[in-house]
Structure 1
Amino acid sequence: MSELAILPVPCFSLLCNAAFALRREVFVWEQKVPEAEEHDEYDLSATHFVAISEGEVVGTLRLIDLPEHTKIGRVAVRQLFRGRGIAHKLIAAAMAHARQRGQDRFYLTAQSDKLGFYESLGFVAFGPEFQDGGMPHRAMRDYDRESAHLVD
């Protein structure tokens, strides 16, 4: 694999549009998330990140600044590039970027079968399992870990 470049990109730039296409590929085509649910109002205000390898966008995510925390979302890696640590590097870079701006509380909703991956990044699941995009998810955060309890 060629060197991985990770950078924030403006909404609707060529690189961000490539990220949106990757999200469609992963979420709508692969995972069968209803297309109407894939984009939302947060896309316009989020900070979007891309991972570039071999001259193409192979990973993406977005950060949403909320009053109580920064939400990490829409994490996607092109199928042929999975298993190479791209998502881990992408999340770490995005969190470092947010920390440079004074944000240090992170939240996400993870597909239930991906909890172990996010736990390896310091997140802990809490609350009940819920459906999002037709798949079971859990809320996760990297702060107030001791008060996080699962509800079933």
Structure 2
Amino acid sequence: MTQSGLVSSCARAATAEEAAFRIDYPLAAARNTRVVALDAAAEEIVRRVSQTQWAQARFYSAVDPGHSLVTMSGKTVPLAGELEDSNTLVLVSSSGDNAQAAATIGAACLVRGIMMAGLVVTPGQLTSVALSTLRPHARILLVPAEEDDLFELLRATRS
């Protein structure tokens, strides 16, 4: 088919008859994603990613046993309050620290029906304590993950 043939087929798709089949409503709103670092190395990654302009994403580090989160500006907030309007949560771990916080956050997401993903940022290691910490709680688990994976995950979910 020639270039001109493609143009004419596009023109035909613009008729009123074809327009009746177009989806005519806006895209869903951005996800209210919460990103939680479980250890110091993960917090560095989360802090860097948080510097990008995001629609609804909020970024934290976890404090054992997980009932509170710390914002990137250092303010301590209750976990329950931050989950109220959330529909996605991403846990980021590199060492497996804060296993109790991961369990607390995972249980809170489960009872609220919040989808939880996990990123195990352990370059070059396919097995680790971080993997076993996140595995029981995350529906989606990226292993081994890199900083760019968190950025792309947030971008793909329009966070």
Q: TM-score, normalised by structure 1?
A: 0.35
Select the structure that is richer in strand: 1
Q: TM-score, normalised by structure 2?
A: 0.34
Q: Which has the larger radius of gyration?
A: 2
